[in-house]
Structure 1
Amino acid sequence: MRTALALAARGLGNTWPNPAVGCVIVTRGSDAGRIVGRGWTQPGGRPHAERRALDQAGAVARGATAYVTLEPCAHHGHTPPCAEGLIAAGVARVVSALTDPDPRVGGRGHAMLRAAGIEVVEQVMAAEARALNAGFLKRVEQGLPFVTLKLASTLDGRIATHSGESRWITGPAARRAVHAMRLAHDAVLVGSGTARADDPDLTVRDMGAVRQPVRIVIDSRLSHALDSRLGRTAGQHPVWLVHTDAAPLAARQGWSATGARLIAVPSDGGHVDLRAAMQALAAEGLTRIFCEGGADLAAGLIRAGLVDELAQFSAGALIGAEGRAALGPLGCAALADAPRLTLLSATPVGADVLTRWSFPG
């Protein structure tokens, strides 16, 4: 199962709205323990992991054990159910990590296998599988994507000097790590202020990406320039703009002409309602979103309880109080109001340090 989970991780960022699944087929009997088939969900969500592993195993799958990180699907979609494929291949035993919460599956895959006389073992390394597919699970169970907030700051929590100079707070190793993080998410998200100030591209570079993440701007009035990098490349890689009814018709028409997708959501005090925005993005199929700023958007997402994980890159530099803070106001009148995060890991990345934190709830 550990191998199957490692295979599943290869699909992160490429399989939405489907889950990233891994499958390993292992022989039993006198030749027990030999891996004869491996597979993971392919870009766009198909072929599924089980199908890939079965095709690799061929006739040797008969009598074997299949280790799968998520319950095999039981419904007909663009491909036949994986449960049927395992049955037809003559697999004798299926070991799964999680039951699929998708209402089209929800235990039916396991039941189908058992009805065919296949031994089924469930909940093996379930915690690890739930962590890996947290985005898919959250979208199905809560109608929201899993949000990772990335911050890159000095040791005193500054992201730029008073004049706005920010290139570069962190070193090249940290910047490359950020590209790897983008690669493992369905979408990269910024606010309109960051989009205007930095004119970002938000693509994954120099990593052989087979599918670029969706590039999203939260921009209530569609104020981002049409001749920006995002505007000029919207026809090549997806750009989505989340806006409110305050966006002028001319701006909507202009951005639509670039090939960008416009998503209208309700307003909250003149700004985009962030919870409504996340719900709309989940409804479009996104499961994992990587937020790269700026300070006000980051604070707004935290205040709304929409951030699941913080990836904090800390550089060994100090700017002082005149520098720009990494976060906007959180409204903490007392220390007890401050969100308390749980440290997941701390890793040196070149001259910088990456700490990963989970948010409560």
Structure 2
Amino acid sequence: MTDQQLSERPMRRALALAANGPATGVNPRVGCVILNGDGQTIAEGWHRGAGTPHAEVDALAKIPAGGAVGATAVVTLEPCNHTGRTGPCALALIQAGISHVVYAVGDPGHASSGGSARLRAAGIDVESGVLADEATALIADWLAAARLGRPFVTLKWASSLDGRAAAADGSSQWITGEAARADVHSRRADADAILVGTGTVLADNPSLTARAADGSLLRAQPRPIVIGTRSIPADAAIRSHPQSPIFLKTTDLAAVLHDLHDRGIRHAFIEGGPTLASAFVAAGLVDEYLVYLAPTLLGGDRLALGDIGVAGIADARRLGIASVDRLGDDVLIVARPVTTQNHPTPSPAVAPTDRDAHRTTDLNKETRN
């Protein structure tokens, strides 16, 4: 059995531990397993959220002083090399006497990266890339946000097979069935924020909560973000959301994303309707598409997307299919820009060009998906 194969077993355990952490927030989910010289597990740890011990420190705290000398630390993310609310994990491993570190995926953060170099400089044997794909999938949104300084953006819509998000009279409840709607609410709960335009709020008065099948609120709730310049009534349902809504009176989408990143939001979930959706697509700011297709035909002009700047087939926005799942009678297609389908690296958060400006200034006319 190769060294890589020997490392995979504890790394799978570390990934399982990492999944216990919160899916949202400024910090990633990380797990750590520490092995003695015989390959036996002597401690485990995982990160429980911002301000709490990182996974490596959590595991080391369970070992008596001197008990980690010569041990191996298996971590899902490269040990950090900076001081924030907690100290550098690379330094903690060095001080504990760890002799070998195995990690899955590198830390792309400008401030937090460099842990592996620090470990090697201290004479520690470092191995990287073990189960990298699995680790990347677990924290893909955080990794993207760390690289770009903006949230990972998921765009969701539900439509008929002929691409309509509503019937000719504007009605859209419900295009998809219960299984698809339950999946949407679960994914809402996994995001830091849910974005809509003012038109959606004014037309549909949505609550934007993540709910169970019986209507009760799920434990995790996305922060509601309303984009656009029109005022929202004092009695709007969104104002009763468990998370205080943020109203951004702008149509500069790049500025919106940078603002949200500064507020600690790392994963933004867009449900705003065709106008807002089209603006984000046209600006090249969508990293993941969730398209729920119902086996029905509606016809008419209520399309899920409007103008996205595609004048001819050569301009088409090419996507790669990440997965296709059956949800009751409906189908969910998860797609990503072809350059990001395997290891998501979203498009740069640049401001919309003059060509795109007219697509980002009409968010007040938003309609519901």
Pairwise TM-score range, normalised by the shorter structure: 0.7 to 0.9
* Secondary structure, counterpart of 1:129 in structure 2: helix
Alpha carbons 2:154, 2:270 under 8 Å: kept: yes
- The match for 2:332 is 354
Work out the CA distance in 2 between the residues paired with 1:329 and 1:136. 30
Alpha carbons 1:43, 1:211 under 8 Å: kept: no
How far residue 111 of structure 1 moved from its aligned partner, in angstroms, is 3.3
Alpha carbons 1:25, 1:57 under 8 Å: kept: no
* Secondary structure, counterpart of 2:141 in structure 1: helix
Runs (5+) with no aligned partner, structure 2: 1-10, 340-369
* Secondary structure, counterpart of 1:96 in structure 2: strand
Alpha carbons 1:66, 1:94 under 8 Å: kept: yes
How far residue 57 of structure 1 moved from its aligned partner, in angstroms, is 5.5
* Secondary structure, counterpart of 2:298 in structure 1: coil
Alpha carbons 1:13, 1:288 under 8 Å: kept: no
1:279 aligns with 2:286: no
- The match for 2:161 is 155
Work out the CA distance in 2 between the residues paired with 1:301 and 1:312. 15
Runs (5+) with no aligned partner, structure 1: 245-271
- The match for 2:79 is 72
How far residue 162 of structure 1 moved from its aligned partner, in angstroms, is 1.7
Aligned amino acid, residue 225 of structure 1: P
1:290 aligns with 2:269: yes
Structure 1 residues 24-35: aligned runs within 5 Å: 24-29=33-38, 32=39, 34-35=40-41
Equivalent of residue 103 in structure 1, options 102, 110, 132: 110
* Secondary structure, counterpart of 1:163 in structure 2: coil
| TM-score normalised by structure 1 residue count | 0.81
Call closer, same or farther: CA 1:336–1:123 in 2, change over 3 Å: same
| TM-score normalised by structure 2 residue count | 0.79
Aligned amino acid, residue 304 of structure 1: A
RMSD, aligned CA: 2.5
How far residue 103 of structure 1 moved from its aligned partner, in angstroms, is 2.7
* Secondary structure, counterpart of 1:2 in structure 2: helix
* Secondary structure, counterpart of 2:225 in structure 1: strand
- The match for 2:187 is 181
How far residue 305 of structure 1 moved from its aligned partner, in angstroms, is 0.1
Aligned amino acid, residue 99 of structure 1: G
How far residue 304 of structure 1 moved from its aligned partner, in angstroms, is 0.2
Alpha carbons 1:9, 1:20 under 8 Å: kept: yes
1:213 aligns with 2:222: yes
Give the total of aligned pairs: 325
- The match for 2:8 is none
Q: Alignment identity in percent?
A: 47
Tell me the alpha carbon deviations over residues 84-106 of structure 1, each in whole angstroms, 9 at most, x when there is no partner: 33234443321112332323332
Alpha carbons 1:182, 1:290 under 8 Å: kept: yes
Call closer, same or farther: CA 1:12–1:178 in 2, change over 3 Å: farther
Alpha carbons 2:209, 2:217 under 8 Å: kept: no
Moved over 6 A (4+): none
Work out the CA distance in 2 between the residues paired with 1:23 and 1:82. 11
Work out the CA distance in 2 between the residues paired with 1:311 and 1:133. 18
